[in-house]
């Protein structure tokens, strides 16, 4: 004959929970740092004379945030991502929009800009 014995509920260890949360947060910060600095990202593209043609700056999600032409900050493209609608602002102030479907494919491309506008 066995007598059923009720085991006490495990105690809540606040310090261990906080330590685990801190570790998870540290890992997220590390990943946020490593993604944009991945060796598979093109940070700059040189020409045959080793002059920079294009230089990219990435955000925390690994997307191009700014793009400099010929290393000149006056020739900067700013890229913005808002879900299915993305747009870029070119050095002349033009801002073509790109729209994507639910699979991430381009659904609508920008109209070509007219000269002088």
In a domain, 112, yes or no: yes
Count of domains forming the chain: 1
The domain in which residue 44 lies consists of 14-117
Enumerate residues 6+ apart whose C-beta is below 8 A from 62. 35, 36, 38, 41
Residue 4 located in a structural domain: no
In a domain, 73, yes or no: yes
pLDDT the model gives residue 10: 65
Q: Is the pLDDT of residue 86 over 60?
A: yes
Return the pLDDT at 3: 67
Predicted structure pTM score? 0.52
Query: Which tens digit of pLDDT belongs to each residue from 24-83?
Result: 777 776 766 666 556 667 777 888 888 888 888 888 777 888 888 886 778 888 888 887
Q: Is the pLDDT of residue 11 over 70?
A: no
Taking phi first (over 0 means left), then psi (-120 to 50 degrees means alpha), and beta for anything else, what does residue 26 get? alpha
């Amino acid at each position: 004959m066995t007598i059923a014995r009720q085991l006490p509920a495990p105690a809540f260890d606040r310090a261990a929970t906080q330590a685990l949360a801190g570790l998870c947060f540290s890992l997220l910060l590390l990943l946020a740092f490593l993604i944009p600095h991945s060796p598979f990202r093109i940070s700059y593209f040189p020409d045959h004379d080793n002059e920079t043609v294009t230089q990219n700056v990435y955000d925390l999600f690994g997307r191009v945030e700014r793009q400099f032409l010929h290393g000149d900050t006056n020739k900067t493209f700013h890229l913005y991502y808002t879900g299915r609608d993305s747009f870029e602002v070119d050095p002349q102030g033009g801002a073509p929009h790109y729209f994507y479907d639910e699979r991430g494919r381009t659904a609508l491309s920008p109209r070509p800009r007219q000269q002088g506008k």
